[in-house]
Amino acid sequence: MTAFPRRPSRDDSALHYGADYNPEQWPRETWREDIALMQEAGVTVVTLAVFSWARIQPTEDTWDFTWLDEIIDMLSKAGIDVDLATSTASPPAWLTMKHPEVLPVTYDGHILWQGGRQHWRPTSPLFRQYALEVTRRLAERYGHNPAVVAWHVNNELGGANVFDYSDDAAAAFRAWLRGHYDDLEDLNAAWGTSFWSQHYARWEEILPPRQAGAQNNPGQVLDFQRFSGDALRDHLAAETAILHELSPGVPVTTNLMLAANYQSIDYSAWARDTDFISNDHYLLPGEGGIEELAFSASATSAIADGEPWWLMEHATSAVNWRTVNPAKRPGQLRRDSLTHLGHGADAICFFQWRASAAGGERFHSAMVPHAGRHSRVFREVTALGRELRSLREVAGSPSLPARCALVFDYETWLLFQGDSMPDNRIEYREELVRWYRVFADLGLRVDVVCPQNDLARYDFLAAPLLHLVPSTLAARLREAVESGTHLVTTYFSGIADEHARVYLGGYPGALRGLLGVRVDEMRPLLDGTTLMVDGGGTMANGLAGSWCEPVEIVSPEVEVLRTYSDCQDTLKAGLQPGTPAVTRRTLGRGSAAYVSTRLEHSALSDLLAELIARAGITADLPTPLAGEVIASVRRGDQADYWTLTNRGRVDLGPADDVAALLGGTVLGGAHTLGLDDAIVVRVPRR
Ligand code: GLA
């Protein structure tokens, strides 16, 4: 990170607060009301011009900045800062009518037409030219405007157009491959193109993995996913270069999508592409949504390397794009915001300021709902604005790493999108969130990290379903264990290298040596098969399913923690009762445990509790908070700031009493830690 936006112009705050603001959807009278309401709500920043290209450049030869000049001036006079978008997310109709060759093409060959948004090819040289022109004009005009505190490149790069299979994409894919492989034979070997007569004799024969008559080549698919992310990064870099040149000192960001509803990009590669990290997150409605939110926020913090970041979008209440879009309950808007703040967000922003009256998102919530200021949502929005001002001392403080971490590998996640796996029911991210929940149940903080992060800093590392393990990662995991990290991983980990090629000689492939076990056969189980694992009297028994394996012990340091019990389904699965199900091997100062089946919640919880206790780690939270809250900590100069989010099962009573349990005091004036609450506790550092 080279720069972070300066503190808000409103002098009574240090945390930024605001939303996407689309004044082009409203008449001037509404603008005046908007500014007054923003002041009432404590808004410090708005993101402008995200989808304004057609308004800024109504025809190829005409430019209109008057409205933008006017609204930036009005905002600036009101002390509201601007995060100015480059407007390139949605090209105007004149452009795509004149040049339909910039429109993206789907896997099955369909064109994504105008009339929605994000209908552009990341690799189109023509699109790039037009997009950079609008970026340049905006940067020239507003690059030195003191109201502009940040630049916002495009929007959610890689939403609808992330995988473009057009001819432009094909040409760029080939160029990318040439840069990543020594020669064509190197590529043929990596992809295993002897299979199904897929050998390439010339680079020109290579296409994006378009819809074919049978499964696409997994190595090709994985490289295409990497290439597609890099194509977007290239677009980001091109816009950023112009912004840096014409608007020096104003930090640049782009809003990432680390959330449950997106699965397209390896964001771990983007960590250094912008001056600061920002993320969009939308709460999963129903049970477990808050843990998923915390998981995503923690993953964002890892991309930001523990430094503060911006929550660029979340919703005050319902979204409009699920089958059913439940409203948030009273308090949840605040709870969600503080939970992000606890994980490092120094800006709490929403999509969007005022709910649209027309267009595809007219039923999406906003800071000002259709009902206007006399509404529950606006009251909560205003209260949050006040509270953020009283939390100002938290701003700028980095996240304090936990002792435990969960490894989330984006490439494994991408690969699991494909078919032809032994078990195509595996939902990698959901499974990791399930493990996250178990850590929370145990009263432990856990960081969601990516393989590129410093893994050896953690005392305990959980890496379930870590399928893609290049030899370099295997070596780093081994070093971490030898130097004292306690690792636990599961079935289907270590199986494949960076080209999705299977390691030979037995599973879990690249991790076999480290774990001291060998498996000669994977055994996914049909739904409804329930196995029992046996802890041998002293340790807990538990239920398992989905997968099992005949685990063979190959290293003398391996201890068996669970065996498959003598039950009907064990025999049906072809396993001998007594076969090791969970093992643990000591190595150097650490250990490496292997779980060969999918343990049900309480069995997983028992096992992790045992492994964590043996690693000498105790709960981060005292009773009665342990298990009932998600905790995150930011380290200030004088104090640590603990954000406690109630997981919604037990009313935890007066906030002062809760804060006292941590030896701290409540910051921000919260009274209770009820079911949909979160509080920030200031714990002085001794
Ligand atoms: C994304 C986009 C916004 C808006 C919201 C709706 O995050 O960036 O423009 O469409 O989704 O949830």
**All domains of the chain in start order, with CATH:** 44-178+224-276 (3.20.20.80), 404-614 (3.40.50.880), 629-684 (no CATH)
Pocket of ligand 1 (CB under 6 A): 155-156, 280, 282, 313, 319, 351, 361, 364
Share of the chain above pLDDT 70, in %: 99
Instruction: From the candidates 239, 291, 292, 313, give the one annotated as an active-site residue.
Output: 313
**How far, in Å, is the centroid of ligand 1 from the Cα of 74?**
25
540 pLDDT higher than 90? no
pTM of the model: 0.98
CA of 155 to the centre of ligand 1 (A): 9
Ligand 1 atom 4: residue of nearest CA: 351
The residue with greater pLDDT, 86 or 417, is: 86
User: Vertex 512, ends 507 and 518: CA angle to 5°?
Assistant: 55
> Strands 531-534 and 558-564, how do they pair?
antiparallel
Angle of the 428-441 helix axis to the 289-303 helix axis, nearest 10: 100
CA of 209 to the centre of ligand 1 (A): 28
Strand-pair partners of 460: 404, 486
Q: Mean of the per-residue pLDDT values for the chain? A: 96
Annotation marks residue 156 as catalytic: yes
pLDDT, position 686: 80
Ligand 1: residue of 25, 88, 156, 253 to mutate (most ligand atoms within 8 A of CB) is 156
Cα of 122 vs centre of ligand 1, distance in Å, is 19
d(CA 547, CA 529): 9
Per-residue pLDDT of 316-372, as tens digits, reads 999 999 999 999 999 999 999 999 999 999 999 999 999 999 999 999 999 999 999
The pLDDT value recorded for residue 631 is: 98
Could you read off the pLDDT of 611-664 as tens digits, one per residue? 999 999 999 999 999 999 999 999 999 999 999 999 999 999 999 999 999 999
Residue 669 pLDDT level (bands cut at 50, 70, 90): confident
Residues 6+ apart with CB under 8 A from 359: 25
Query: Which one of 310, 351, 352, 356 would you pick to mutate in the ligand 1 pocket, going by the greatest count of ligand atoms within 8 A of its CB?
Result: 351
Q: Spot the catalytic one: 156, 292, 411, 610.
A: 156
Measured in Å, residue 161 CA sits from the centre of ligand 1 at 14
Q: Does the annotation mark 245 as catalytic?
A: no
Angle separating helix axes 28-41 and 376-390, nearest 10 degrees: 50
376-390 vs 332-342: helix axis angle to the nearest 10?
Answer: 30
Question: Which numbered atom of ligand 1 lies nearest the CA of 319?
Answer: 12
Q: Place 12 in a pLDDT band, splitting at 50, 70 and 90.
A: low
Q: What dihedral do alpha carbons 509, 511, 515, 518 form, nearest 10°?
A: 0
Instruction: State in Å: Cα 248 to ligand 1 middle.
Output: 28
Place of tokens 């393989």: 451
In tens, the pLDDT along 593-623 reads: 999 999 999 999 999 999 999 999 999 999 9
Nearest CA to ligand 1 atom 2: 156
- Measure the CA–CA gap between 671 and 654, rounded to whole angstroms: 6
Please compute the mean of the pLDDT values over residues 97-123 and round it to a whole number: 97
If one residue of 86, 161, 313 were mutated to test the ligand 1 pocket, choosing by the most ligand atoms within 8 A of its CB, it would be: 313
Q: Is the pLDDT of residue 1 over 50?
A: no
371-422 pLDDT, tens digit per residue, is 999 999 999 999 999 999 999 999 999 999 999 999 999 999 999 987 789 9
pLDDT at 2 > cutoff 60: no
